[in-house]
Structure 1
Amino acid sequence: MYAADIHGGHARRKAAVVPEVAAERDLVVEDAATGFCGAVVGFDKSYDGEFVKLEDGRGAVRLFAMRTAAFLIDGRPVTLVRPRVAAAQQGATRSASGSTRVAGLKARVARGSRIWVEGIHDAALVERVWGHDLRVEGVVVEQLEGLDHLGERLAEFRPGPGRRVGVLADHLVEGSKETRMTQSLGQYVMVTGHPFIDVWEAVKPSSLGIAAWPTVPRGEDWKTGVCRRLRWGTPQDGWRRVQGAVTSFRDLDATLIGAVERLVDFVTEPE
């Protein structure tokens, strides 16, 4: 009934080899699952693995897992991998804030001056974008847990020469409670900030793949209201989205960028 070779006429198929492609900035790829097509603008890493950030022609930005054969280039499946940077070139690359990265950096001894921010999310975003710069300058960022504690903390810290305090405030607009609380604090204290209710809102909607931040009525918890309207789940789920969308200063509103840069200059200014 059978030929001597039972495998005769049944050549075994070899699995196609999917090439790995370095995800260099501005490389245009298509997500095979959704059809979203965009240029590489950054990366993120979480407990779920590596993600690449793609920006389409309309400015919408989305995160995609860097799985095997997950993307298409000219219709052909590829696996994206992070580009390798030669050690000799690393010193010339830019930090997330856009400054020149210092190769082989060792954090200097902390200055007496400080930058204070309102909460943990403010601190996390400042670290994400300006962390390298702050270690170069030896500047420590501390949480206030709200501006209501500012007066008490200043009295305890006692600002003076070599002990300046820069304060990053949310919702710093004319006539607001925050503005009234931060006036006339002396020459060794600078308060600046952004006009948004919460630092989340200082992240560009395009970086999160949304058209705009939703409006939440006064009296409703802002983060909870935002997550409900965007179907993001809990505020903890929403924060993971917000933090994951920020890879550089380009993901932030200009008001927050300018505020942090002014504070860094202020606390590092020679006496």
Structure 2
Amino acid sequence: MYGQDVLSGDWRRPKKGQIPKIPAELDLVVEDAEGRFCGAVVACDKEGVTLEDRHGRRRLFPLTPAGFLLDGKPVTLVRPAAAPQAPRRSASGSVAVEGLRARVARESRIYVEGVHDASLVEKIWGHDLRVEGVVVEYLEGVDDLPAIVAEFAPEPGRRLGVLVDHLVPGSKESRIASQVSGDDVLVVGHPYVDVWQAVKPSALDIPAWPNVPRGVPWKEGVIAALGWRMDPQEAWRHILGRVQTYADLQPELLGRVEELIDFVTTPHPSP
């Protein structure tokens, strides 16, 4: 007379369609299927979903079909899809190449003044240089740069980039740079007396690089002013150890190294 018993059958299954599957995202508020516990999702893994109610009590529930109520309607909670991971970055900020095998070295080269410059460039740009097949060598000063450039014999496809310290108008370095620069030779530099200063003071927990009086060897003067009980090599190891990424370096150095890498990896166009 009254038709089918409304309480018979599986009340969790809607008359039409499937029970929706809802990702158990954090802070989603649901009830268990029996309506005995209501809370927000605080965790979800292969063991189940953990809910926390407004009193801070937590309970773990299995991820069973139609095991929860959302806005009074049955739902199946499922583990949320893993968020896509951002590409890994190298120390220079470029996208890291996974499973990198170093490219065969180009004929083009980058020269830097000294071993400290070379170790800093390697630490930050080493990955990029291996991707591009660029070798970095050091000069032990720039006084002999004209002869070194002549011996290198740069030409299209065999370019030379040079990074020097204290490249400011009127300096010895700027005069030497003007002698060797050309279509296949690029000399750039930063304004600092030494590459140490290209490291941001904040990376070393110092307020600033100290001013060293004329006539005092710069590295030794810095060490003394900062109260470091180290020789220059120990001081450099300390400084280099505090450099982790490009963010620890001054932009005056960052831009010049990037410029050199672009220069030696881009052949000079034919006339």
Same fold (TM over 0.5): yes
Aligned to 2:253: 256
Structure 1 position 235 matched with structure 2 position 226: no
Deviations 1:17-69 (A, max 9, x none): xxxxxxxxxxxxxxxxxxxxxxxxxxxxxxxxxxxxxxxxxxxxxxxxxxxxx
- Runs (4+) of structure 1 moved beyond 4 Å? none
Higher relative contact order (CA 8 A, sep 6+): 1
Choose 231-240 or 192-201, whichever is displaced more: 231-240
Question: Which residue of 1 is the match for residue 17 of structure 2?
Answer: none
Residue aligning to 1:99: 94
Q: Measure the CA separation in 2 of the matches of 1:219 and 1:102.
A: 47
Aligned-partner SS, 2:144: helix
Aligned twin of 1:135: 130
Between structure 1 and structure 2, the one with the greater Rg is: 2
Deviation at 1:221, TM superposition (A): 0.8
Aligned length: 184
Q: Look up the equivalent residue of 1:196 and give its one-letter code.
A: Y
Question: TM-score, with normalisation over the residues of structure 2?
Answer: 0.66
**Partner in structure 2 of residue 200 of structure 1:** 196
Residues 1:188 and 2:201 are matched in the alignment: no
Contact 2:91 2:244 in 1 (8 A): yes
For residues 102 and 87 of structure 2, what CA distance do their matches in structure 1 show?
Answer: 18
5+ residue gaps, structure 1, are: 1-87
Letter in 2 for 1:122: D
Q: Unpaired runs of 5+ in structure 2?
A: 1-83
Structure 1 residue corresponding to 2:217, chosen from 214, 221, 234: 221
| TM-score, normalization by structure 1 | 0.66
Tell me, in whole angstroms, the C-alpha distance in 2 between the residues paired with 1:104 and 1:208: 32
Alignment partners' CA distance in 2, 1:139 and 1:219: 38
Aligned 8 A contact 2:112 2:162 in 1:
yes
Distance in 1 (alpha carbons) for counterparts of 2:157 and 2:266: 9
1:155 Cα offset (Å)? 1.3
Corresponding residue for residue 115 of structure 2: 120
Q: CA deviation at 1:164?
A: 0.5
User: By how many angstroms is 1:223 displaced?
Assistant: 0.5
Separation in 1 of the partners of 2:238 and 2:226?
11
Offset of 1:226 from its aligned partner? 0.5
Secondary structure at the residue paired with 2:258?
A: helix
Calculate percent identity across the aligned residue pairs: 61
In 2, Cα distance between the equivalents of 1:260 and 1:124?
A: 13
| Residues 1:160 and 2:133 are matched in the alignment | no
Q: How far apart, CA to CA, are the structure 2 residues paired with 1:217 and 1:224?
A: 11
2:100 touches 2:131 (CA, 8 Å); kept in 1?
yes
**2:135 alignment partner AA:** V
Instruction: Give how far 1:237 is off.
Output: 2.1
Question: What displacement does 1:184 show?
Answer: 4.3
CA contact (8 A) 2:109 2:160 kept: yes
SS state of the match for residue 182, structure 1? Answer: helix
